[in-house]
Amino acid sequence: MAPRDSALRTFVWTWGAPLAVALPLLVAPLVLSDFRLNLLGKFLTYAIVALGLDLIWGYGGMLSLGQGLFFGLGGYAMAMYLKLETSGSRLPDFMSWSGLEALPLFWEPFRSPVVALCAVVLLPMAIASAVGYLVFRSRVQGVYFSLITQGLTLIASILFIGQQAVTGGTNGITNLKTIFGFARGATGTQTVLYFVTLFCLGALYLLCRKLTQSRFGRLLVAMRDDENRVRFLGYNPVTLKTLVFALSAGMAGIAGALFVCQVGLISPSSMGVIPSVEMVTWVAVGGRGTLIGAVVGAILVSLGKSALSESYPEVWQLGFGALFAASVMLLPKGVSGFLQRHAARLSRRDTGGAAGPASGDEVDSAAGPEAPATTGR
């Protein structure tokens, strides 16, 4: 009975947990107001960023504090097209205010939605590939990698703030009224945007799950636990790290573009150091190395932040910080690790302690980044 019980628990966690998250999200448009649905759609874009971060941190062992940079680049690429669409033949308003008389040359290609959509993914991936290759080739890792990505994010946000005439400066690119010819604020448009965001989240979750269960995923875990051993086995960690870093950057770019469609603006405050650190909290609270935990963590933390800021506008940041500290201390492996551990205990109790050890997937997911390299996914 033990193998059967273990297989059942693995199946429930593999497909039951994602379905338990997906079903409420699918029916949300039926019960939420337009404002709350738009807010939830914004949180789903955060979940996409968390998925990519979990891929490189939870599975690859690389803590990136620069996901906000890639999120912002994807958002700006989409916002440039939407701003030109909204402005029509006129110059964007912030350029006129800054004294420009002609559209900058690098803005011209963004009149095409195809160019904009390609830039949303390819621009963050290209920068992540270049930076990642140079960093990983020098065997920089650990806290030094985190500091480098954080520094790049800070430099980029300062640069965008300083280029008022072409980026909108501190305010960013705002007042985006249309999306591919449709009114962005219309109820029907917002509902479609919500389902598009939900579809992208589901597709990217399945892609990440496929990757983590493949040989590529096992190499990531092995590299996380003992990079030298992977190198001695004939694999090139530089290539593996650069590839997964670029993939996570592309996912953050997609999330940024969807974020712009949801809220109608993008500014340097969305791509700074603080948002990048907040993205780490989503994965930490949800649980590293589980994928679904990253999604749940992003949604729960964002909901908690929104609820506290609405109810206690003067002290919500203190309450939010205390909540995060308590969750990390009480749930060191995140919400997903807590649920897995207690589900396994209940199963052993129901079978009189005869359920046997957890399966490879459960051990790996519950253990997080410290799981042994030989554990299967």
Structural domain contains residue 152: yes
What is the torsional sign of CA 274, 217, 292, 250?
A: positive
Structural domain contains residue 273: yes
In terms of pLDDT, which residue wins out, 311 or 180?
180
> Please, are residues 318 and 353 in contact by the beta-carbon 8 Å criterion?
no
> Please, are residues 315 and 44 in contact by the beta-carbon 8 Å criterion?
no
Q: What percent of the chain has pLDDT over 90?
A: 55
Residue 50 pLDDT grade (very low, low, confident, very high; cuts 50, 70, 90): very high
Residue 369 has pLDDT above 60, yes or no: no
In terms of pLDDT, which residue wins out, 262 or 374?
262
Mean pLDDT for the stretch of residues 205-224: 92
Structural domain contains residue 366: no
**Cα(301)–Cα(42) distance, integer angstroms:** 13
b/e string for 302-328 if b means 16 or more Cβ within 10 A? Answer: bebbbebeeeeeeebeebbeebbeebe
The residue length of the chain stands at: 377
Q: CB-based burial of residue 217 (10 Å sphere; 0-12 exposed, 13-18 middle, 19+ buried)?
A: buried
- Tell the residue number behind the tokens 């497909």, with chain if given: 15
Structural domain contains residue 352: no
Number of compact structural domains in the chain: 1
Residue 107 confidence (pLDDT): 93
> Please, are residues 30 and 209 in contact by the beta-carbon 8 Å criterion?
no
Residue 29 has pLDDT above 60, yes or no: yes
Residue 375 confidence (pLDDT): 40
Residue 331 has pLDDT above 80, yes or no: no
Range of the domain at 294: 36-338
> Please, are residues 220 and 35 in contact by the beta-carbon 8 Å criterion?
no
Structural domain contains residue 58: yes
Structural domain contains residue 185: yes
Name the percent of the chain in helix, strand, coil, to the closest 5.
Answer: 75, 0, 20
Residue 45 has pLDDT above 90, yes or no: yes
Residue 160 confidence (pLDDT): 94
Structural domain contains residue 2: no
Show the tokens assigned to 323: 């909540």
Show the tokens assigned to 98: 């800054």
Structural domain contains residue 350: no
Residue 373 has pLDDT above 90, yes or no: no
Residues contacting residue 81 through CB under 8 Å, at least 6 positions apart: 110, 111, 112, 113, 115, 116
